[in-house]
Structures are given as structure tokens and as C-alpha cells.
Amino acid sequence: MTAPARTAAGDAELLLTLVERQLRVRSKRSMLGMVWPSVSPLVMLALYSYVFNRVFNVPVERYPEFLFAGLLPWAFLSQSVATSIPSLSVEAPLVRRAPFRHELVPMANVLAHALYFVVSTVGFCAYLAWHGRLAWSVLPALVAPMLAVVVFGAGLCQVLALFDVYNRDLRWVVGNVLTIWFFLLPIVYRPQMVPEGLQFLQSTDPMNMIVGQFRDVLYYGSVSRPGHMALMLIVSAVFFVVCTAVFRRCSGELPKDL
């Protein structure tokens, strides 16, 4: 019974080491490296607020807050995907040299971005509190969608990083895929504006559910769909387990293939 515990403890220690390494690499010879993941959502906020609030005049009250509540989880996921896809290829010497669970490499990228995600979310909560628009009574419920997007992202990035080892075409198309996915989500527009043929995504796409829960807590100040929140957690957890199982099954020859 002690061996699995030691293995789990060793994996956790290695994961923390890889996260720390990611943060050090990000800050090396770069003034923006340590702050850009937190600044990037603000840049997106300024751009999309101008386009959809000023130009297209989307009929949403307090549109910048409405938008940022949806941008927070999306920015975390898109940044995690972008850095995790080549992570195994970049860390090829480490993967070849040391025997360990290789899925920890893309997971470390996700957790490194999760730190910035938490900082950005806390900052937004502070802004809402300063303006008297933060619903303190429901704020603890925000833990659920934050956990769900990290778990979902960790599963997705594992599979994408493994796919990249055997086919680099993903690097060329992932930007377009993320753009399409972004506009399928009700981030820059209200969920009621989704065409009827795409409304099924609200209960099937984990990111759709996560964005909805973020907005419920931070913008509307309510937890009106507890069943939806439970479904979000279950779907994200199952997705992570399936992705991890796929990664472990298909990565047996990974050190030789890199």
C-alpha cells in the first residue's frame, strides 16, 4: 500500500517542479513573460468591447463586465492550449532521459496558466466589490467553474500535446479552431441570441457550461442552475479521466518517437 502513495507523492512533487520551471522559463529574458497571461484578457476585453459594444451595439447592460466574466475562463483555456500543444516536443530531452508520467508535462503548462487565471479572477472580483456589484453570498460557488475549466483544460491539453508529437499539422490549424469555438460560445453575445440549432451546446459543450456558470456568479450574482453546475463538474471530470486514459494507452513508445 505504501508504493502507490510514494508514487503519487513523487508525481505531485515532479508536477510542482515542472510548474515552477515553466514560470522561470516564462520570466527569463522577458519583461512581459510573467504578466502577459494576466494582461491578455484585458487586451481582449478592450478589443471586443469596442467592436461589439460600440460598433455592433450588443444590447447588454454593463457590457464590459458581462464580456469579461466570459473571457476569463476562455482566455485561460486558449492560452493553455497554445503553450501545451508543443510541450512534449519541446521537452523531448527530459522525456527521453527520465522515466515519469509524461502527461505531467502538458499538465504543468495548464497549472502554470491556472495561477494567472486565479490572479485575474481575484482582480475582477476586487473590481466588482469596489463598485458594489459583487454578490458575496454566492461567490464561493465560483470555485466549481474554476475547478471545472482547469480539469477540462488539463484533459484536453494532454491529448493535443500527444497528437502534436505524431502530427505537427495541429499547430497550423489550432488558432482557427479556437476562433470558431470562441464565437460558438455566448461570450460576446447573450445566450438567448444563440440560434436554435446550436442551443444543444449549452448542455453538451463543457466550455459553454463553464462560461455560463462564471457569468451567473460574477455578473448576475446568482446560482440559478445548481443542476447545470453539477453536470458541468461531472462532464469535465469524465473528460479528464478519458483523456488521461487515452494518453497513457497511446504514449507507451513516446520517448522513442520524440
Average pLDDT rounded to a whole number, residues 131-146: 94
- Please check whether residue 62 lies inside any domain of the structure: yes
Euclidean distance between CA atoms 107 and 129, whole angstroms: 32
Instruction: Report residue 57 as a C-alpha cell.
Output: 451595439
Comparison of pLDDT for 242 and 50, the residue scoring more = 242
- Report the domain count for the chain: 1
pLDDT average, residue stretch 26-51: 76
Instruction: Report yes or no on 2 lying in a domain.
Output: no
Contact 149, 76 (CB under 8 A): yes
Number of other residues whose CB lies within 10 A of the CB of residue 10: 12
With respect to residue 28, please indicate whether it lies within any of the assigned structural domains. Answer: no
Say if 252 falls within a structural domain: yes
Q: Angle CA(72)–CA(76)–CA(77) in degrees, nearest 5?
A: 120
Within-domain flag for 5: no
Asked whether the predicted pLDDT for residue 2 surpasses 60, the reply is: no
pLDDT at position 159 is 95
Query: Residue 104's closest CA among 145, 152, 49, 161?
Result: 161
Q: What is the C-alpha separation between 14 and 184, in angstroms, rounded? A: 37
In a domain, 4, yes or no: no
Is the residue at 14 inside a domain?
no
| pLDDT value of position 31 | 62
Amino acid making up residue 42: L
23, amino acid identity: L
Tell me which residue range forms the domain holding 179: 36-257
Residue 120, all three cell numbers? 485575474
pLDDT tens column, 164-222? 988 888 888 999 999 999 999 999 988 887 777 777 777 788 999 999 999 999 999 99
Which of 32-46, 49-63, 161-175 is least confident? 32-46
Asked if residue 6 belongs to a domain, the reply is no
